[in-house]
């Protein structure tokens, strides 16, 4: 199995631009998580989906952030407009039903820099 796939791996953009991060979870996994990691705030859960339905989005910073999961094999995290404080590494993780949501398989992350 290829594992969780994230794209792009690196993104540099200017303030005010729209940024879209993509994630392909492991086939057969029913839960998907988006995290943000920074030195200052550590690892933060932004949102998670179960069977393609958003369950908890309380970690989404503000209306500039949105996430979708149109089908079981694809999810996006969009930031519009982006700001310098959004610079971070964004991780996607997926979890199989039979192992519970604590067992998560992480992607390699997208390193975002907003200038």
Partner 1 sequence: AQSVTQLDSHVSVSEGTPVLLRCNYSSSYSPSLFWYVQHPNKGLQLLLKYTSAATLVKGINGFEAEFKKSETSFHLTKPSAHMSDAAEYFCVVGSSASKIIFGSGTRLSIRP
Dihedral angle computed from the Cα positions of residues 63, 74, 2 and 37, in that order, rounded to the nearest 10 degrees: 0
The answer to the question of residue 103 lying near partner 1 (CB under 8 A) is yes
Smallest distance, Å, CB 4 to partner 1?
8
* Residue window 23-62: x/- pattern of binding to partner 1, with contact defined by CB under 8 A: -------------------xx-x----------x------
Token digits of residue 55? 């369950």
The answer to the question of residue 4 lying near partner 1 (CB under 8 A) is yes
**Closest alpha carbon to 112 in 92, 91, 89:** 89
Q: Check: CB of residue 88 under 8 Å from CB of residue 11.
A: no
In the complex, the residues that contact partner 1 under the rule CB under 8 A are 4, 42-43, 45, 56, 91, 93, 100-109
């Amino acid at each position: 199995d290829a594992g969780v796939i994230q794209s792009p791996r690196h993104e540099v953009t200017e303030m005010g631009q729209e940024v879209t991060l993509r994630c392909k979870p492991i086939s057969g996994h029913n839960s998907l998580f988006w995290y943000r990691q920074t030195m200052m705030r550590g690892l933060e859960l932004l949102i998670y989906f179960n069977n393609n339905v958003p369950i908890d989005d309380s970690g989404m910073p503000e209306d500039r952030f949105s996430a979708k999961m149109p089908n079981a094999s694809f999810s996006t995290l969009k930031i519009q407009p982006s700001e310098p404080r959004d610079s971070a590494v964004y991780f996607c993780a997926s979890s199989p039903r039979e192992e519970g949501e604590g067992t998560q398989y992480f992607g390699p992350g997208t390193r975002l820099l907003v200038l």
